[in-house]
Structure 1
Amino acid sequence: MWPFTARAQQPARIPRVISLAPVHVASQAEGTRRILRELGYVEGRNIRLEFRDAAGNVDALPRLAQELVREGGIDVILAISTPAALAAYRATQTTPIVALTAVDPVGSGLADSLARPGRNVTGIAVFSEETTEKRVELMREVVPRALRLGTVTTKLSSGAQSLAPVLETGRKLGFTVESINIDDPANLAKALGPEVLTRFDALVFVPDALISAHMAEVIKLVGASNKPAIFPSPDWVAHGGFMSFGPDFSDANRHLIAQLDRVLKGAKPGDLPFERPTKFYLRINLRVAKELGIELPPTVLARADEVIE
């Protein structure tokens, strides 16, 4: 009986979750920890949570994902961004992956369908061509005489799925559209400097984890250019941006961790539908509008979910 009793008394194995991202965002990491605590997870007691990132080098994600899989002992990979999810999926088709993607998971090859992914990946898909189109339409309403529209991207968001809605909608509305591609976030000051932004009348930003990681600097550079810009989520306006339209990413993160919880409790990712945001917010900073000399149309103000004085 002694060997049986010894085995019975061994502590249960603690599940290990690795968060894989292109860049570390402290607020997102803390938000993940907070939501897990609300769900009853205590680090070191019933979950091991580790954060790994590529330090802004998107091209390093595949190698990093392969190293993690070779390392072994991972119960779930929490992939933040489409490139992180693709890197994880190409490294393993067996380890469960819960992903936050800004690109269509079906189009990118992560899932057979949104309703039934069918593979080892599920999560939250915050992509929406309609949302991107709406940002361009709002900018046309706010600056009706603007002609030159810039859209800011990095390697994370420079694909056709991210840019096509801006290019097509912009041209339909009479804009000349040009992409400002930031190869290295370390060169933000140059990429968004006065000599570059002076070419544009307005800017539209698409969801991009690398750009979001440098939110304060981006807002400062755009503000110095005196150009109106619309951003993809409300937190940009809370930090001094002019206007935003899109899902609340903190709410999306909450749903993402709820998906992670289901997988940890035994659900198969292939059986869990990719969720989509259901709430979209228009937030406007009136102080910035005044600094830009923009008189906002009453129709835009009436549709705003929040106006910051």
Structure 2
Amino acid sequence: MRRRAFIGLVAGAIGWPLIARAQQSSATPRVVQLGPVEIPAQIAGTKRLLAELGYVEGRIRLEFRHAAGDADALPALAQEIVRDGPVDVIIAISTPAALAAYKATRTIPIVTLAAVDPVASGLADSLARPGRNVTGIAVFSEETTVKRVELMREILPQAVRLGTVTTKVSSGAQSLTPVLEAGRKLGFEVEAINIDDPASIGTILSPDNLARFDGLVFVPDVVLSAHLGEVVRLVNLSKKPAIFASPDWVANGAFMSFGPDFADAGRRLIAQVDRVLRGAKPGDLPFERPTKFDLRINLRIAKALGLDLPATVVARADEVIE
């Protein structure tokens, strides 16, 4: 073989992987967000945060799939996403969505906003080094729900009956045992209020049904968030003080909220999606935990409920609505 031909052959052999990588990197990535329910504000947030990182229309194929509030439909939906063709990243909103996606694929990167411990739920080997194809933000909602129970005791020192409100999405993904135990230690009789079907929200949270409770504690739940307006209306009609997990509830007329700063968690979630799209392996990216927490109080609703809030609680609030 002539020297010039040989050099050309070697150069070509070296160049092919570079060309292949260039073609791969220039291809439009396909990202699918999977969740139990459609929440327009959440979808808009995902689009906005990705756009801020340069993933505008034309530079990304962004799809949204949801199970219309039926958590049991998530596994089939995840399998359908995998069958539909190449996917660069699955964004899984909620632990059930992450578990469904992980069951459907062990190779496609999954970035999740999970309510519970990803190690205990089988999504990761450890928080620091997940070791599988899943990473994301782990909220550990049992801990913050316990804090909401403690707040309820502070503002209702004489209360006895406490209801904790969940749907299949939250109750199926997390244990309420720590919450129930914390409530009982604080002198509450705690009853779980489970909403298996979103269509039954109006019945289960009706004033007649809630009359037996002195207060309500809501766990983080994307299905309930999708019905935020209806839930707030029903709870306020019941005249029962209720604590929710995020400030958007208080902004829409609820009494109180305490929980992680989900806006910050959303930014960090999309930052992890960006790192995966740039070549990082989920198994090498630590699961992150929220570091910012937010307490909001609506004093107008407190007055309507006839509550005289302790000054120590009001002083701790990040925002007070007069």
- What TM-score, normalized to structure 2? 0.91
Match of 2:30 among 6, 13, 16: 16
Look up the equivalent residue of 2:246 and give its one-letter code.
S
Report the secondary structure of 2:162's partner residue: strand
Look up the match of 1:182: 195
Match of 1:31 among 45, 48, 60: 45
| Aligned counterparts of 2:134 and 2:306: Cα–Cα separation in 1 | 47
CA contact (8 A) 1:205 1:230 kept: yes
CA contact (8 A) 2:115 2:174 kept: no
Report the secondary structure of 1:282's partner residue: strand
Look up the match of 1:41: 55
CA contact (8 A) 1:162 1:206 kept: no
CA contact (8 A) 1:247 1:279 kept: yes
How far has the Cα of 1:302 moved from its partner?
1.2
Larger CA deviation: 190-199 vs 257-266? 190-199
Question: Per the alignment, do residues 10 and 101 of structure 1 end up closer, same or farther by CA in structure 2, a change over 3 Å counting?
Answer: closer
| Aligned counterparts of 1:153 and 1:305: Cα–Cα separation in 2 | 25
**Is 1:246 matched up with 2:272?**
no
**Is 1:57 matched up with 2:75?**
no
User: What runs of 5+ residues in structure 1 fail to find an aligned partner?
Assistant: none
Larger CA deviation: 141-150 vs 67-76? 67-76
Question: Per the alignment, do residues 10 and 161 of structure 1 end up closer, same or farther by CA in structure 2, a change over 3 Å counting?
Answer: closer
Match of 1:287 among 300, 307, 313: 300
Look up the equivalent residue of 2:83 and give its one-letter code.
R
| Aligned counterparts of 1:287 and 1:60: Cα–Cα separation in 2 | 40
What aligned pairs does 1:224-235 form with structure 2 within 5 A after superposition? 224-235=237-248
Q: Which has the larger radius of gyration?
A: 2
Look up the match of 2:217: 204
Look up the equivalent residue of 1:196 and give its one-letter code.
N
Q: Which runs of 4+ in 1 moved over 6 A?
A: 7-11
Q: CA RMSD in A?
A: 1.8
CA contact (8 A) 2:115 2:139 kept: yes
What aligned pairs does 1:165-180 form with structure 2 within 5 A after superposition? 165-180=178-193
- What TM-score, normalized to structure 1? 0.95
CA contact (8 A) 1:75 1:96 kept: yes
Question: How many residues are aligned here?
Answer: 304
| Aligned counterparts of 1:13 and 1:197: Cα–Cα separation in 2 | 54
Greater helix share, 1 or 2? 2
Look up the match of 1:86: 99
Report the secondary structure of 2:234's partner residue: helix
| Aligned counterparts of 1:100 and 1:162: Cα–Cα separation in 2 | 17
Report the secondary structure of 1:95's partner residue: coil
Look up the match of 1:216: 229
Look up the equivalent residue of 1:184 and give its one-letter code.
D
**Is 1:237 matched up with 2:237?**
no
Deviation by residue 1:158-182 (Cα, 9 ceiling, x = unmatched): 1483412220111001100001110
Look up the match of 1:298: 311
* Identical-residue share of aligned pairs (%): 74
Report the secondary structure of 2:174's partner residue: helix
CA contact (8 A) 1:88 1:97 kept: yes
Larger CA deviation: 10-19 vs 273-282? 10-19
CA contact (8 A) 2:115 2:173 kept: no
| Aligned counterparts of 1:250 and 1:240: Cα–Cα separation in 2 | 19
CA contact (8 A) 2:165 2:193 kept: yes
Look up the match of 1:69: 82
Question: Per the alignment, do residues 307 and 10 of structure 1 end up closer, same or farther by CA in structure 2, a change over 3 Å counting?
Answer: closer
Look up the match of 1:136: 149
Look up the match of 1:272: 285
| Aligned counterparts of 2:142 and 2:251: Cα–Cα separation in 1 | 24
Look up the equivalent residue of 1:34 and give its one-letter code.
R
Deviation by residue 1:2-33 (Cα, 9 ceiling, x = unmatched): xx9xx999893100000000001000000011
Match of 1:261 among 271, 274, 278: 274
Look up the equivalent residue of 1:13 and give its one-letter code.
A
How far has the Cα of 1:196 moved from its partner?
1.1
Look up the match of 2:12: none
Look up the match of 2:168: 155
